[in-house]
Amino acid sequence: MGRLKLSSEIERLKAVPGFKGSDWNSIKPEFAARMVIQNQFKTGIDIAKYTAGIMRKDMDAYDSDTSSYTQSLGCWHGFIGQQKLISIKKHFGTTDKKYLYLSGWMVAALRSEFGPLPDQSMHEKTSVASLVEELYTFLRQADARELAALFRKLDSAAESDKQSIQDQIDNFETHIVPIIADIDAGFGNEEATYLMAKQMIEAGACCIQIENQVSDEKQCGHQDGKVTVPHSDFLAKINAVRYAFLELGVDDGVIVARTDSLGAGLTKQIAVTNEAGDLGDQYNSFLDVEEMTAETMNHGDVLINQNGKLVRPKRLPSNLYQFKKGTGEARCILDSITSLQNGADLIWIETEKPHIGQIGAMMVEIKKAVPNAKLVYNNSPSFNWTLNFRQQVFDAMHEAGQDVSAYERENLMDISYDASELAIEADRRIQTFQADAAREAGIFHHLITLPTYHTAALSTDNLAKEYFGEKGMLGYVEGVQRKEIRQGIACVKHQNMAGSDMGDDHKEYFAGEAALKASGDDNTMNQF
């Protein structure tokens, strides 16, 4: 979808039959054209098609140059997503390679009608699609607001300045960016996954992320108790998502296949296998088993033939089967290769720590089978980044024979180390993690899920402490408003952000001189 040009839209509208007579003599094509430009994307499908094209272009760019990676930030409300994109445009001049991520975790914790829930797929099935729609509603409003300001600027500009402003309008960069939407483990069987995927795509999602856990026992990727499913079950859900994309005309929709096998030591099912070495047999080969005979069998035992031997998979009181210890990385590699060879576009490996060496080693093995494999990665606030990287530097120093006697490895979070050589090097590695991981570990897209959850809590804590404390109103003025004004935060004019000025524009279009506008001399927003 190309940019709409204001002049072209005016000419198109002038050709509408209603303008040929006198019935529409109070309707101005120029005003209607402005409204069209302000709402370029009419449906969620329009958005999904547009943003899928962006993701595909960015994926190709990464294949050519690993420094051309993308990043995202998780958002749990439309306003948060809107302000993020407004800030990005303000600071960087473009939204290029900056995405939104919509985490099932945040939906569960913040958007469920049941109230705050853990990341266990207990929230309503429609919640994710509703949030996708909400995010794009706010992003479209950001487009409309900025264009409205340009239209007003055009109307009041000297003739010599009008062309420059017209160029800004014609080359306006939308706030609409790709959303990677988390469908968890599909919320049921493959039909349920298909129906939910359709909802999300219709809301605007061009990319759907799905994981290989049991859908009704799903756990957060950073918690214990995760249970995976055989590959055939997972691939059926990947197929369901692809069919949803194709049915709705989003032919280049993107699927992210996530494996939780690194931290999941359990499976609910023994895979179906028809011959030695097939996919089911490979899955079962990781099971923790013990060799049995007819004499050693117990009542109720489940036995399988594995390489000509009768073995009993270890079954827990929960009726789950246990994998062998230390097989997580091998299972992740198999999961990733299998997903990429069967319809997934990107993979996600959920790790227990942010360690480029660990991630890169798995990607090396995956790329032997799928050379252009690309990993998305959760730059998760569930990691203690400070401690992890300080320990990584400690270990590197120790292996290099350096003296580390001044450091206590398990206590490296202590503030006393903040100015140390070790801590400075750790911070440097954290700062370059995205670029280093993209270059060394095949990471195309950095999925950052929770920072806006934490920043909301932190800023609210700071305001509450000051406003209800000794500083009183100064706590707000000094800690919030003064900073907003000086940093050029758009929502300091909160009525404008909410659409008051656009409403005035529309009133003028609709009622002419009779319009009752809010933006007069008595509007306190003029103070800003």
- Position 490, amino acid: A
CB atoms < 10 A from the CB of 29, how many? 18
- Report the distance separating Cα 292 and Cα 310, nearest Å: 6
Active-site option among 75, 220, 332, 491 = 220
Sign of the torsion angle spanned by Cα atoms 71, 77, 82, 83: negative
Alpha helices in 287-445 (DSSP H): 328-340, 356-369, 385-399, 421-431, 433-440
Cβ–Cβ < 8 Å for 259, 276: no
Instruction: Give the chain's count of helices (H) and strands (E).
Output: 20, 14
Q: Which two tokens stand for residue 417?
A: 């180390």
The CA-based angle 154-156-158, given to 5 degrees, is 85
Task: Report d(CA 449, CA 455) in Å as an integer.
Answer: 12
Q: 32 is written with which tokens?
A: 């209607």
β-strands 304-306, 309-313 pairing: antiparallel
**Residue among 253, 130, 144 nearest 203 (CA):** 130
- Cβ-contact 260, 121 below 8 angstroms: no
Could you tell me the two tokens for 21?
Answer: 């007579």
Query: What is the helix (H) or strand (E) element at residue 98, kind and residue range?
Result: strand 98-102
Contacts with 453 (C-beta within 8 Å, 6 or more apart), sequence order: 74, 76, 106, 109, 110, 381
**φ, ψ at 179 (rounded to 5°):** -115, 125
270: nearest Cα among 315, 240, 206, 215: 315
| SS percent in the chain: helix, strand, coil, step 5 | 50, 10, 35
206 among known catalytic residues: no
Question: Which residue type is seen at 156?
Answer: S
- Judge contact between 349 and 263, C-beta under 8 A: no
Helix (H) / strand (E) element for 102: namely strand 98-102
φ/ψ (deg, to 5) at 181: -105, 130
Residue reference for tokens 């790790």: 351
DSSP secondary structure code for residue 287 in this structure: B
Give backbone dihedrals phi and psi of 447, rounded to 5 degrees, phi first: -95, 110
Instruction: Give the residue from 236, 260, 250 showing the smallest Cα distance to 203.
Output: 250
Rounded Cα distance between 31 and 167, Å, is 18
Nearest to 377 by CA among 286, 440, 452: 440
Active site residues: 220
